Chain A
């Protein structure tokens, strides 16, 4: 509860600081301090310290898993602020409002990580989506940004409509929005409604995490949005919706006797295949990262596919690893003058620190051992093996991971083995140190993943 209320209040505070504070540096500092406070308060709640005592009528249930996920999402956002806050304020004139919207999204993420009622799920997803539509179109003079925003808005509202229809059908079957009633035997004759409703909710959620075949909006929106916000959308927001998906599945489909695993297996395979194959043909690194985010979503779907302890650990690690690496790569990408692969030619000579850290992030995304990406993928695949069915999916996923190495290494190849003069915006030493710190975190967590996972259990 701490995080939900505080993030909303911080959002309002930042809205008003847009009126009263004129200095962009001050706004950046307020936002960063606010996010640090939010993280602290959430960690305090993990330790059993509650700032607010609100009776939620069992609509929200705060589990260790959800709170840990919040902490990870907030630390990733804090890192994102530290690395890219300057670029956020440079997007347009409404600097404070961009931060305010990000705080509202954090509120939505805190809701979906602990919802216990379909109503709250809907609210949370909407609180996440609506600020994103605005952030996507925040570069008002840019035609591509406008197009992306409108596309995202139209498609997103349709998928929200589908979700509402699904929730209505579930309500028709179970006469309740509460997740605890999902397995009650009321109206057992209406199980068809129940499954149809859950499938519709599932479709809408798969749309939000850009799983195939609902991924078509992703490349255009990620490409059109200002690069800083693409970084935020592709990492923290996506992971937040995944947590909602895992929670929803855990409490509805599992144990309902319905063969949902086959559906998820097919979606996962399609997502991995389309994401990886299309990423190969991209010329722009930004677009390649958009497709790679689809491919990575395929791996995160394993957390939904096999609901067991391994998958829960896996999705936490995956969120952390994927967010760290992708935020880092995007932070470097923003500094580049040219977003194509050729633009990275010879970066190792002009900016050795940037090139080295980007290499580590890319290795982590590809799942090379000694990086956190390896353990994230390992836990995901191990969970699928443990769940025992559809082993072909695991083999397919490994093949796709091998394909992904090709396009990730293309960037490394450009940076180190091709001659050219990669042009970058001026980079401060603080930025370099931050990137180096993130790269170090990727490696340390890749050797000792238990540093994070222990919080799941005590």
Chain B
């Protein structure tokens, strides 16, 4: 019985302790396969032309997908990644907020300061301007 409770695991390096994880993986994969496999048989099945059409977020597809897209999308995506990464750095700081004290606060302030510099730079360079 001990096998199935992770907190009772004695030695972390024993392969037997990973059995619950293996079971969970099996269950998860099995559940997905089962539900996907069974649904065509259970539900009603009426294939009309409109239903089989590709759509994205409820909008009808228009034209060919292989057409030039404004580079602005790419720029915005890159900027998003940049600021997203900044936010990730805040998590470890938030967890250690008290231990790091004023020194940590100043360090983070410096980090944010650099980022604000960069933000100001991209605004001034017109990276967020949509109309040409």
Contact = CB atoms under 8 A, between A and B. Distances in A.
B18 interface: no
Nearest to B121: A15
Nearest to B124: A19
Contacts of B125: 18-19
Interface in A81-101: none
Nearest to B126: A19
Contacts of B117: 12
Nearest to A16: B121
Tell me if A's interface is mostly helix, strand, loop or mixed: helix
A339 to B, nearest CB: 31
Interface residues of A, number: 5
A103 to B, nearest CB: 15
Contacts of A15: 121
A15 B117 CA distance: 10
Interface in B114-130: 117, 121, 124-125
Interface residues of B, number: 4
Contacts of A16: 121
A19 B126 CA distance: 10
Interface in B78-128: 117, 121, 124-125
Contacts of B121: 15-16, 19
A400 to B, nearest CB: 45
A403 B55 CA distance: 66
Contacts of A19: 121, 124-125
A18 B121 CA distance: 9
Contacts of A12: 117
A449 B124 CA distance: 49
A94 to B, nearest CB: 9
Nearest to A94: B125
A12 B117 CA distance: 8
Interface string A17-34: 011000000000000000
A21 B30 CA distance: 63
B102 to A, nearest CB: 16
B82 to A, nearest CB: 13
A432 B1 CA distance: 87
A20 to B, nearest CB: 8
Nearest to B117: A12
Contacts of B124: 19
A301 to B, nearest CB: 37
A18 B124 CA distance: 10
A47 B124 CA distance: 40
Nearest to A100: B121
Nearest to A12: B117
Contacts of A18: 125
B75 to A, nearest CB: 14
A112 B111 CA distance: 22
Nearest to A20: B124
Interface in A1-47: 12, 15-16, 18-19
A184 B117 CA distance: 43
B115 to A, nearest CB: 12
7 contacts: A12-B117, A15-B121, A16-B121, A18-B125, A19-B121, A19-B124, A19-B125
Interface of A: 12, 15-16, 18-19
The 6 closest A-B pairs by CB, nearest first: A19-B124, A15-B121, A12-B117, A16-B121, A19-B125, A19-B121
